[in-house]
Structure 1
Amino acid sequence: FCVECDKRYHKECVESPVEISYPSHLKHSLKLYLSEDRSNQYCILCREKADIMVYHCSLCDVYMHVVCAQKTIPIFIDQPIRHDHTLTLFPRQASLTCNICGLVNKLHLTYVCRSICDFVAHSDCIFIPHTIRISRHHHRISFVSSLPLGDWSCGVCRREVDCGYGAYTCDVCLGYAVHTRCALRYDIWDGKELEGIPEEDEEDIDPFEKIADGVILHFSHGHHL
């Protein structure tokens, strides 16, 4: 810490190199950056809010925690819950669609299956929770690797859900699905993994309260509809 201004810094931060290159962002280097306004700055690796001192690419406007940048990158990952085969790090940026979230994001480390299947996963998608509860639905929802053929709409953003990729669904409400990334939003999910935790018997409560003819108050919205 500094005696004169009473500011404190992590040992890892002050000993970090001023400039680095990272496998998922090889086009430009990342430079150590002292951030003053962190309201909309998130680490591209862990998706948590940026610290005061971070690595930053001014051309792409991306941020990375110093600690995240220093973590060892595994070449192989075994996660049988998500995939039966060992996943291998794809050593370059590429526009590959993640089978878990259904999105393309070249800024994230990508792992692929080098076996007979054509499986792709972002590093932070591999370990997503299986069963969760979100603020937009009364029941628990669970992750599935794909959906039955049909027209699916996300219960959060209302946009189309591609049935060929992963999503969260409700075992009680048939036809209810949520994009993987929508379900895991900070303002939607409470951050708790519920797999293996018994679900308490709950009274079947209507999702809305009738205020008047043609007017309701839905649990997911603060105003009358």
Structure 2
Amino acid sequence: MWSIISAAGWPIWPLIFGSIVALAIVFERIWALRKKELIPASLVADVCKTLPQFKDRQNLARLEAHSALGSLMAAGLSAFYKNEDIEAAMQEKSIGVQNRLEKHLDVLSMIASAAPLMGLLGTVIGMIEIFAVQGSGAQTPEAIAAGIAVALYNTAFGLIVAIPALVAYRLFKIRINNLLETMGKSLEPFEDLLKQAVNSRKPG
């Protein structure tokens, strides 16, 4: 393996670095996108039962820090007790939640897009070197074929990096969309309760 890397030349090193970064992002996002941590099963019911407790700022801060779902509920409760637009507050907070869920995915997408190009660049550089040497002196067809094979290692490695990175990126996007949809459905009883409370405190 080391002989292949050495023969492929310097363009393969950015690909190796990109593959390490991509792998780190994949493992980090797998850990960060655990459903049970983002959307605790009983949180909505527990908060709905103890709604008055969240007039206390410390309780509200603990709820916000609890989970992604908790942060959305905290935004709604904060708006409720300030007589502000609950739906707008939760919608604004949801943008921040989505951004946190998609953390580092732009880098993963960039690696998936750039890796084939880096591989192609390495192949082109390798081919230039081969034919530059050929132009300065005679080479056997076997030596040229071996040189071309080495140059193509870069293209192959670029695809080896790009394809898994692209698949992981798309799977994470699907996962995040499903999580956001689940959060929205989980929050329906909470939102209904806050709407009822808002209507009950209106005069007349």
Scaled by the length of structure 2, the TM-score of the pair is 0.17
Q: Which has the higher contact order (CA 8 A, sep 6+)?
A: 2
Scaled by the length of structure 1, the TM-score of the pair is 0.16
Q: Which has the larger radius of gyration?
A: 2
Which structure features the higher share of helix residues?
A: 2
Which structure features the higher share of strand residues?
A: 1
